[in-house]
Amino acid sequence: MFVDACTVYARKWIDEDGVEIEIVKSISDEECTMKSEAGDTLEQYYRLTDERGRLIGTNFGEKPFKFMLGNGEVIRGMDTAMTGMCEGERRRVVIPPREASEMDGHLVDGIASDATLYYLLELKSIQKYNPGERWLDDDGLQITVLHKIDDYLCKQAKTGDVVQIHFTLFLQDGTFVDSTKTREPYQFMLGYGRVEGLDRAVNGMCQGEKRRIDIPPSLAKGEIGTAEKIKNDVYLHYQVELVKVSKKDEL
């Protein structure tokens, strides 16, 4: 009886924020070579239903959703639910409204702000956190490398190259503005981009690299996405992944 109780406790729990988590497919210690933690990039399959079991959305059988854990790219409850998972593990998760009300279009689009979210989640892959340097230019542009690429693997973006990026955009107070995570990457030619700060920050990146980019108002004019509606006197905070580099001599 004591063993059974411990097993139940290990497989199902409620965290301090009210997120209910149940492991429905576990991975043995021998097969689990690493567990997800803050800073890791995860590929996730999900199935979302309402309290009656009605299907709202799923990407099982499609392309997995990719995000950095603990970096504010998804709702708080999802960060909690995906922490400590093994590749291949599945969890059933119930996220209360207060943990599901912040940003992230792919997870909460079209759902009432007071709705409880019911998920079946599968962790497809983990890419471990590999941070790099951080620097601040004289005009206030700040760049932090969230995931670096080794020099011998780097396909570097330079002026004249065509690049494709995924980005998530926030305001200084943390307000979510826009993201390409659920659509095609944003494509532009380096040196001819619509946002000077973003153009400069992507220049020199390696394919597969991730950066956090803090852009002052003077370098934020001509924003991409819905940022076009933002006032001109605000700081913009981008999280960017360089998905593809097409060298100018390859075009």
Which pLDDT belongs to residue 102?
52
pLDDT mean over 145-168: 93
Cα separation, 10 vs 201, whole angstroms: 44
12-127 matches 133-250 in fold? yes
| b/e per residue 169-201 (b: at least 16 CB within 10 A) | bbeeeeebbbbbbeeeebebebeebebbbbbbb
166-206 pLDDT per residue, tens = 999 888 877 788 888 888 999 999 988 778 899 999 999 99
CATH number of 12-127, picked from 3.10.50.40, 3.40.50.300, 3.90.1260.10, 3.40.640.10: 3.10.50.40
Note the pLDDT tens digit of each residue in 48-96: 998 899 999 999 999 999 998 988 888 889 999 999 999 999 999 999 9
Return the domain boundaries, the chain: 12-127, 133-250
H/E stretch holding 107 reads: helix 105-108
Does residue 57 contact residue 49 with C-beta atoms inside 8 Å?
no
pLDDT top residue among 166 and 113: 166
Q: Do residues 156 and 204 touch, judged by C-beta distance below 8 A?
A: yes
How far apart are the C-alpha atoms of 151 and 161, rounded to whole Å? 19
The answer to whether residue 103 scores a pLDDT higher than 90 is no
**pLDDT, position 2:** 37
CATH of the structural domain 133-250, one choice from 3.40.50.300, 3.40.50.720, 3.10.50.40, 1.10.287.610: 3.10.50.40
41 and 70 Cβ atoms separated by less than 8 Å: no
Q: CA–CA separation, 204 vs 211, rounded Å?
A: 11
pLDDT of 110 > 60? The answer is no
Structure confidence at residue 84 (pLDDT): 95
Rounded (10°) CA dihedral 188, 192, 195, 199: 80
Judged against a pLDDT cut of 60, whether residue 106 lies above it is answered with: no
Residue 3: pLDDT band by 50, 70, 90 thresholds? very low
What is the pLDDT averaged over residues 217-229?
67
